[in-house]
Copies of this chain bind each other. A is one copy, B any other.
Amino acid sequence: MARASSKMDQLSDLLREGRLDHVLLTSLESLRYFAGHTTAIETGPSPFSPRPGALAWIKGEEPILFLADSESSEDVASGITCRSFTGYTYQSPLRALEELTNLLASKFANLPQSTVGVEMRDLPALILEKLSSGCPQLEFHDATARLIEMRSIKDDDEVEAIRSALALCDLGQARVKQLVAPGLTELEVFNEMRKTIESKAGGRVPLLADLVSGSRTAAVGGNPDSSQLRIGDLVIADLVPRYNGYWGDTCNTCAVEGASAEQQRIFQGVKTALDDAIDQVKPGIRACELDSHLRQWIRKLGGAYPHHSGHGLGVTFHEEPRIVPYNQTMLRAGMVIALEPGIYIEGKWGLRLEHTILVTEAGAEVLSKFEHTL
């Protein structure tokens, strides 16, 4: 169980700066980030309760997590009051979202004229409609951009959570390396690798993964399919598991029974580029500078990559700071970023290498522990 207090203090500052009085959060990432609660995602939104709950914080009161009773409340952070509502029952019609909406409407009903920070992208229109009509004295403002910025700096508990997810990545990368052999399909490699990860985690693990071989590697990534590995193929394994609500992200590229001299040269070049970029990571460098540094290095190798140089991660697998050409954001201690340079040769093959890195006061700590080997 996490402590909510320091994040709630920061949220309080954020509300003050935004001239917001109260807050109503409904995204899965906010429920995890502020209230500690992780929602199952592997089979899509629940047909019973399209939202697992909502975090409401009225100025001067305790924050309340309204949570469907079909969700476990064991992970809810201390300092957050949890109130359950009926998420699923076979004894009456399904109306979980309506019940949540009613609870929120009565919670917000008797407030004076004031402002509420919400997540407009992740707030169901049903809730906004009902609150707007039932509480005409309230104004609702989108707080999403401020929340995204706040989440870009991780506290110690978050870094530990990301480390745990990355330990699963490390295991997965070692397993892929061990497995690749001519005749196996991408799917078979993927399934065995996932089995290793889930066995270590002791349960199901949401897992985003590029796992492609041969000429498919030239197209950056994709889901594993029944393509068979052949001698001389490269295999890109970009593994992004979620553990305890936090994501890890690493990528390796390995060869099926030996790489060509050209592939070895490019692999070493990209590895050096990644190492060098990691050396550049420190508070004060701008995201776009890091992006440009990596792209230049790759250009010297005669290649390029049609994607970001990296991105933040945490309660989502892609967040700020994005390491991209336009992003002027300065890196700060506590940011966690994945860096992932690659080179892709059209129609032939591609490779990509990725580590996840914590920005520290002193520079950088590489949180993923496996070594990239071809």
User: A47, B316: Cβ atoms under 8 Å?
Assistant: yes
What is the chain B residue whose CB lies nearest that of A326?
B92
A127 at interface, CB cutoff 8 A: yes
Q: Which of A203-211, A274-282, A351-359 contacts B (4 or more CB under 8 A)?
A: A203-211
Residue-wise, chain A 35-71 has the 8 Å CB interface mask toward B (1 for contact) of: 0000011111101101000000000000000000000
What residues on B are CB-neighbors of A123 within 8 Å?
Answer: 124-126
Distance A89 CA – B322 CA, assembled complex (angstroms): 11
Protomer copies: 2
A350–chain B nearest beta-carbon distance, Å: 16
User: B124, A90: Cβ atoms under 8 Å?
Assistant: no
A175 at interface, CB cutoff 8 A: no
Distance A41 CA – B224 CA, assembled complex (angstroms): 15
User: B92, A121: Cβ atoms under 8 Å?
Assistant: no
A110 at interface, CB cutoff 8 A: no
A198–chain B nearest beta-carbon distance, Å: 6
A240 at interface, CB cutoff 8 A: yes
User: A43, B206: Cβ atoms under 8 Å?
Assistant: yes
Query: Could you say which of B47, B187, B191 contacts A317, with CB atoms under 8 Å apart?
Result: B47
What residues on B are CB-neighbors of A124 within 8 Å?
Answer: 120-125
A318 at interface, CB cutoff 8 A: yes
What residues on B are CB-neighbors of A195 within 8 Å?
Answer: 188, 191, 195
A202–chain B nearest beta-carbon distance, Å: 5
A264 at interface, CB cutoff 8 A: no
Query: Could you say which of B125, B126, B191 contacts A191, with CB atoms under 8 Å apart?
Result: B191
Given the interface pairs A122-B50, A127-B125, the reply to whether A224 lies near B242 with Cβ below 8 Å is no
Max count, chain B CB within 10 A of own CB: residue among A43, A122, A128, A203:
A43
Query: Could you say which of B187, B199, B226, B319 contacts A47, with CB atoms under 8 Å apart?
Result: B319
User: A187, B198: Cβ atoms under 8 Å?
Assistant: yes
Residue-wise, chain A 233-244 has the 8 Å CB interface mask toward B (1 for contact) of: 000000010100
Distance A160 CA – B198 CA, assembled complex (angstroms): 33
A94–chain B nearest beta-carbon distance, Å: 8
Q: Using a CB-CB cutoff of 8 Å, which residues 316-330 of chain A contact chain B? A: 316-319, 322, 324-326
Max count, chain B CB within 10 A of own CB: residue among A47, A125, A202:
A125
